[in-house]
Amino acid sequence: MTIGTLTLRESVEFSTQTSTSGEQLRTVSVHTRAIGSRVYQVREVAGRPGEKGQPRTTVNTTLSDGEVENFEADWAVLWKPEIEIGELDRLDEKKLEYDPLNV
């Protein structure tokens, strides 16, 4: 999504790691947000389904703590997509005139 001269991007990737026998070992989610060249990424690793304990979360960014606060404030103001990610599952993508993930 572009606002003025700023390009905003958001992506969420999920993967499941399994053993050679097909048993689920862990799930990994990577949530990335970018405003221009400023990037903030959170990676979360969770164990097997039903396994106790909190997921391990790591943040990947070159932003300082103050810059992260500014980034989050800017994101809250600027990120206003016309379609919510959760709504995509209910839409027939063939009826869309654009790819909402690449706006």
Average pLDDT of the chain is 81
Ramachandran assignment for 81, one of left (phi > 0), alpha (psi -120 to 50 degrees), beta (any other): beta
Share of the chain above pLDDT 70, in %: 77
Instruction: Write the pLDDT tens digit of every residue in 31-63.
Output: 999 999 999 999 999 877 677 777 899 999 999
Q: Using only the alpha carbons of the chain, give its radius of gyration.
A: 17
Instruction: Write the pLDDT tens digit of every residue in 87-97.
Output: 555 554 444 44
pLDDT of residue 94: 42
Most confident segment among 2-6, 51-55, 64-68: 64-68
